[in-house]
Amino acid sequence: MLQGQDEVDRIVAAWGRERPDLDPRPLHVFSRVSRLSRRLDLARRRVFIDHALEGWEFDVLSALRRAGEPYELTAGRLLNETLVSSGTMTNRIDRMVAHGYVVRAVGTTDRRVVLVRLTPRGKETVDAAMADLLHSEQELLSELEPAEAEQLTSLLRRLLLPLDS
């Protein structure tokens, strides 16, 4: 199914020639994952630009959208979802409020709790961006048969699970 050699094959061969004492086989996987990651980042960036979003805005909006109605989370929960500091999250929420994507609300049971809620504009924006993102990523996967994509999913999950825990 593979046609010829790619750049990673050439890199691995060169290392094998220059450092025969090393086993460069991990490069076959991780150099390809790295290159794919860079291309995926560029494809995602294009989608976000088309929707006037920064990547971090999409992350926050999608966390709120995934939460389900009423599409709100505490600021603390958003910190956990997006892995940023509280100062960074405060700044991001301020900017998203200014863009009309979210509003702040006070918790009903504890007034010290700040809730961040998706606005109709934010929901419309994240829904459109998500549809385009999935279309773009499906195109990237189009070289694989469905069973191959499932196998790749399984193998990548096995590599990532120990790193996520």
Residue pLDDT, tens place only, 107-152: 667 667 789 999 999 999 999 999 999 999 999 899 999 999 999 9
Residues in the chain: 165
**What is the CA angle 51-56-58, rounded to 5?**
40
* Percentage above 70 pLDDT, the chain: 96
Q: Tokens 């989370």 map to which residue?
A: 73
Residues 10-29 pLDDT 10s: 999 999 999 999 999 999 99
- DSSP structural state of residue 113: P
Token pair for 56: 């971090």
Helix (H/G/I), strand (E/B), else coil: 23: coil
In this prediction, residues 39-49 reach a mean pLDDT of 94
List b or e across 1-26, with b for residues whose CB sees 16 or more CB atoms inside 10 angstroms: eeeeeeebeeebeeeeeeeeeeebee
**Using an 8 Å Cβ cutoff, are 118 and 71 in contact?**
yes
DSSP 22: S
Inform me whether the pLDDT recorded for 1 exceeds 60.
no
Q: Are 73 and 89 in contact (CB under 8 A)?
A: no
**pTM of the entire structure?**
0.83
Q: Are 25 and 119 in contact (CB under 8 A)?
A: no
* Mean pLDDT for the stretch of residues 90-104: 94
CB contact set of 39 (below 8 Å; sequence gap of 6+): 140
Cα dihedral: 33, 67, 92, 134 (round 10): 40
pLDDT of residue 110: 67
